[in-house]
Structures are given as C-alpha cells and as structure tokens.
Amino acid sequence: MRPTVLIDEKQLQLIINRLSHQLVENHRDFSNTVIIGLQPRGVNLAKRIQAKINEITKMNVPVGNLDVTFFRDDFRRRDKPIQANSTEVDFLIENKHVVLVDDVLFTGRTIRAGLDAMLAYGRPASVELCVLIDRRFSRQLPVEPNYVGKAIDSIDSQRVTVSWKETSAADCVELHSQKQ
Amino acid sequence: MNGLSVKHLTGIKDLKKEDIELIFQTADEFKEIINRPIKKVPSLRDITIANLFFENSTRTRLSFELAEKRLSADVVNFSASSSSVKKGETLIDTVNNILAMKVDMVVMRHPYPGAAKFLSEHVNTTIINAGDGTHEHPTQALLDAFSIREKLGPNFKGKKIAIVGDILHSRVALSNIFCLQKLGAEITVCGPTTLIPKHIEKLGVKVSHSLEETLQWCDAVNMLRIQLERQGDDKDVAFFPSLREYSMQFGLNKEKLESLDKPILVMHPGPINRGVEITSDVADSNQAIILDQVENGVAIRMAVLYLLASGMERK
C-alpha cells in the first residue's frame, strides 16, 4: 500500500510558521527561553522553528540537541542496542523556560526520557512540549503536548515517518499502514 | 544497528572491526556525558557488577568503578589479598559463589593468561577482562586506539604506531597490536632483544631495536612501562644490564623527540617510571596525551559495559 501523505512541503512551512508564532505569543522576546530538539529527528524541526523565531523576534534564540538514548526505559528490552546520537547543549537551563521539540509524539516514553536527560543541565523554570505530529489516543504515559502541528488518529501497527530536506529529498510527513 | 558480536570481552582478538568502531561511537557520547556538570546516566540501574581483582591495580580498577557508577550500576569490589582465595578456593568456585548473590557482570583481572576466557566458558555470566597475566588487556587497547583516533582522525589506514619497551611481559602490547591491526594501522615493536618475544613478526608487526629509527618512522609512540617487578638485579634472569643503560637506549627524552622532523604523539599506559622509559619533560609536554588516555578510559569502559549489558538476557 502506498503511504498516505499527511503533510506536504507547503503545509509544513505553514505549520512551522504557526508554531513559531504561537511560541512567540507565549514567550515574547525569548530572552529567558531556550529550545531543545530531541535526537535524532526532533533536531531538524527545532532548527526550523528557531530560524523562524529569530526572524520574528530579531533575537538569537539558543537551541540545543539532546540525546536520550541512555535515559530510555526500554534498555535491555529490545533485541538490539539503540545507537546513541550526539548531545550539543552549550547552555545551562537553570531557571530557564524550556521548549522541548520532537517530530512525532506517540507513546510519550521518549519525552519522559528527555525530561530526565534534560535535568543534567539544571532545573528549568518550566518545560513545554512542541511536536509536529501528535498520534492521539496511543499514549502510555501522561504526556501531553502544548503545541501541536497536526493531530492524527492512527493504530499501533501504523508508522509515521517524517522526512526533512536536510537529510532526504524533500520535506514530507507520511503514514505507512503496512510493515515494509 | 546491531550490537556487539561477542557476549564477553575476553580479548581484542575476538572482536571484529565493526565492534571496535561501535565501541568508539558509543564512547564518543559517553565522553560528552562525563564532561557534563552531572556525569551520571541511569542505563545500568538494574545491573550489579563485581570487580574481581586478583592482581593489584589502581588506574584500571578506579576507571572501571567510575564507569560503572556513572552508568548507575551497583558495584561490589573484591581483591584477592583479603579473600578466601588465600584459603585455597578455586576460581570457578569463587566466582560462582559471588554469582549466587545475584551479580550480573564480572570485571576480572587475574595473573594467569587466559583466566577470563576460561571463566567465560565455565560460568554463566558476562565477563570483562581487565588484564589476564601477560595475555591481553582489551579495554586499555581500546582506549589507546580511541585516544589516537581523537588526535589523528578516524581513519587508521596507513597510520604508523610504535610500541616501545617490554613487549615480552606486556598484555597492553598484545592487545594494542590486535586492535590497531584490525583498524588498519601499521605497527612496529621496539625494545632490547631480550624483551621482544620470539616470532612476534608472525603477527604482522615490524621489529626494531633502534628507538631513533622507530621514532622517525611513527606517527604515535606508545611507551610501555618497564615492569620492575618482573626483572632486576635480584631476580634470576636480568633482561638488560642496568636501568640506566635501558634508559639511555630505549628511554624517550626531549632530545630524541626534538631531533625528529615532525611532531609525534607520545602515549603511556601508566604507571610511569619517570626517568626510565620516559623523562619528566616529555611526560609533561604537549605531545604527551597520557592524561587524555586516562580520561578516555572511563568513556571506553562505559561504552563496553553499556554495549555488553544491552545484549544480556534479563534474568
């Protein structure tokens, strides 16, 4: 079966613009707010949002990449170890407002690990969650996003893939219904 | 991504090139973690590790213990001098007794070559070799290669590495040879004839008895410690006439280093005999990466523990 296109390049641009404006509305000039993208695929979204916010606010908003591999709760429950990615957070988050950014919110477990991993950089004043795709009704932990690109209804066997221009041919979000 | 191809780390000889590269990639991330203000991750929080040291060690033991603690594992330490080994208990019995107390992994240093391999075949647990006699010291070789990779880049093809000193008694030398060869580097061993094992060229290494020529040839030199406890005036066999003579012929000093037409990396697995195999001004110079090696040791051991633990069955 061909995958269903959930978001195409044009829509993605609109969504990133909307999310950025929502963030600016709540965080004003971003003087005390930082953005952290979760590795591996939240990083591209975080960079795009940062670029847009920089354009709106004329500020340089700090953005970091956080890898959660060593904080996951499924260690030794998978067949294979998970490959770690680099963490690049060159600021402290003590008393800062943090916006965690990821591409797809599914069970909520990655976000839980992200909350844990983040604490190595200080105690944030608040944490918000921004996701491109919210797979509703599939949460295993009480995690809810504050900013949502698009909410979709899907079943466990389906897969959502997000491709970015930076790493693939084009920006695209697809829903796969069959295991490939 | 696949995990390691081995269940135990008994020696570098059993590892594939991909395993070594996977350990390096994982160690990169752990190195970043141990430089954070909070240096701890919860990965191994449900694992208990026993450090069995049947032979003395400061650095390796501390390094393993720190690596284990930074992965949140529970740690028990054991040293042969204060245990029932003195009462005549066999190695298998000792380890099985410790395992009966629900220990998941064993890190072991033992004076007999092959002890780790032997144990891995007879005991149902994950074994990590922290040095077995004059045989192998895999984590030291991994951290040495990791330190070279950090300074000279990830491609070992054509890199020239020299290992100088007591090759005969050195487990570090053997593991280093296996590790660097798998990565594609060329190796020369250098030392007095009495301290070079016979037939070592069968391993595919060059042999030299001139430190000056070796230094001129290499990109990095690993100066091994002269194992004073295994030779000297009061022992049955002396491997060289005097420490002073050894030091003049095979000791690395500033003059020898400065006479070369390019800077080379100077490494040492520790503990240093200052003034014997290496002079103080060289050991403390910018070319020496001895303390980087120690720092990388913790990251490498974290990576090894993490990767081996992720392949373990849950009991």
Give tens-digit pLDDT for B141-161. 999 999 999 999 999 999 999
Distance CA A76, CA A82 (A): 10
Residue of B nearest to A93 (CA): B37
For position B8, what pLDDT does the model report?
94
Tell me if A180 sits within 8 A of A10, measured CB to CB: no
Using CB atoms, which residue from A75, A86, A122 is nearest to B29?
A: A86
Mean pLDDT score, B197-221? 95
For testing contact with chain A, the best of B29, B70, B314 (most A CBs within 10 A)? B29
**What are the distances in angstroms from CA B170 to CA A11, B194, B219?**
64, 13, 21
Q: Number of helices (H) and strands (E) in chain B: give both, helices first.
A: 11, 9
**What are the distances in angstroms from CA A105 to CA A108, A145, A149?**
6, 8, 11
Report angle CA A171, A174, A179 to the nearest 5 degrees: 135
Residues of chain A with C-beta less than 8 angstroms from the C-beta of B2: 80
Residue of B nearest to A74 (CA): B43
* Residue B280's pLDDT band (cuts 50, 70, 90): very high
Q: Nearest to residue A135, comparing CAs of A176, A98, A166, A168?
A: A176
Distance CA A43, CA A66 (A): 8
Q: Nearest to residue B285, comparing CAs of B256, B269, B265?
A: B265
Are residues A86 and B28, on separate chains, in Cβ contact within 8 Å? yes
Q: Nearest to residue A138, comparing CAs of A100, A105, A178?
A: A105
**What are the distances in angstroms from CA A3 to CA A45, A46, A160, A178, B68?**
22, 25, 9, 8, 45
Q: Which amino acid is at A41?
A: R
CB of B202 within 8 Å of a chain A CB? The answer is no
Give the containing element (helix H, strand E) for A131.
Answer: strand A126-136
Residues of chain B with C-beta less than 8 angstroms from the C-beta of A67: 29
Which ipTM value was assigned to this complex? 0.75
Mean pLDDT score, B174-196? 95
How many structural domains are present in chain A? 1
| Residue A107 in tokens | 């069970």
Residues of chain B with C-beta less than 8 angstroms from the C-beta of A87: 29, 32-33
Q: Give yes or no on whether B12-137+295-310 and B139-293 have one common fold.
A: yes
A101: in domain: yes
Are residues B1 and A121, on separate chains, in Cβ contact within 8 Å? no
Residues of chain B with C-beta less than 8 angstroms from the C-beta of A76: 46, 309-310, 312, 314
**What 8-state DSSP symbol labels residue A88?**
B
A47: in domain: yes
Nearest chain B Cα distance for residue A37, angstroms: 17
Tell me if A141 sits within 8 A of A101, measured CB to CB: no
How many whole angstroms from its chain centre is CA B258?
Answer: 28
Report angle CA B95, B52, B142 to the nearest 5 degrees: 120
Burial B298-309 (b: 16+ CB within 10 A, else e): bbbbbbbbbbbb
pTM of the model: 0.88
Give tens-digit pLDDT for A88-126. 888 889 999 999 999 999 999 999 999 999 988 889 999
CA terminus-to-terminus distance, chain A: 10
Report CA Rg, chain A.
16
**What are the distances in angstroms from CA A94 to CA A98, A118, A122, B203, B290?**
10, 10, 4, 55, 35
Topology adopted by domain B139-293: Rossmann fold (3.40.50)
Using CB atoms, which residue from A70, A80, A120 is nearest to B43?
A: A70
Q: CATH number of the domain that A96 lies in?
A: 3.40.50.2020
Using CB atoms, which residue from B29, B36, B310 is nearest to A76?
A: B310
Of B137, B169, B225, B301, which residue is the catalytic one?
B137
3-class secondary structure, B217: helix
Of B59, B61, B160, B206, which residue is the catalytic one?
B59
Say whether pLDDT at B235 is over 60. Answer: no
Mean pLDDT score, B171-185? 96
User: What are A's interface residues with B at a Cβ cutoff of 8 A?
Assistant: 67, 69-71, 75-78, 80-87, 92, 116-117, 119-122
B12-137+295-310: CATH number? 3.40.50.1370
**What 8-state DSSP symbol labels residue A179?**
-
- Give the contacts of B108 (CB within 8 A, at least 6 positions apart): B51, B52, B53, B54, B95, B115, B116, B119, B127, B128, B129, B130, B132
Q: Judge whether B59 counts as a catalytic residue.
A: yes
pLDDT-above-90 percentage for chain A: 67
For position A75, what pLDDT does the model report?
80
A176: in domain: no
Are residues B41 and A81, on separate chains, in Cβ contact within 8 Å? no
Unique residue bearing structure tokens 């044009």: A10
Say whether pLDDT at B245 is over 80. Answer: yes
Domain ranges of chain B: 12-137+295-310, 139-293
Parent domain of A19: 9-154
Are residues A80 and B1, on separate chains, in Cβ contact within 8 Å? yes
Nearest chain B Cα distance for residue A56, angstroms: 33
CB of B37 within 8 Å of a chain A CB? The answer is yes
For testing contact with chain B, the best of A39, A65, A76 (most B CBs within 10 A)? A76
Give tens-digit pLDDT for B20-58. 999 999 999 999 999 988 889 999 998 999 999 998 888
For position B82, what pLDDT does the model report?
65
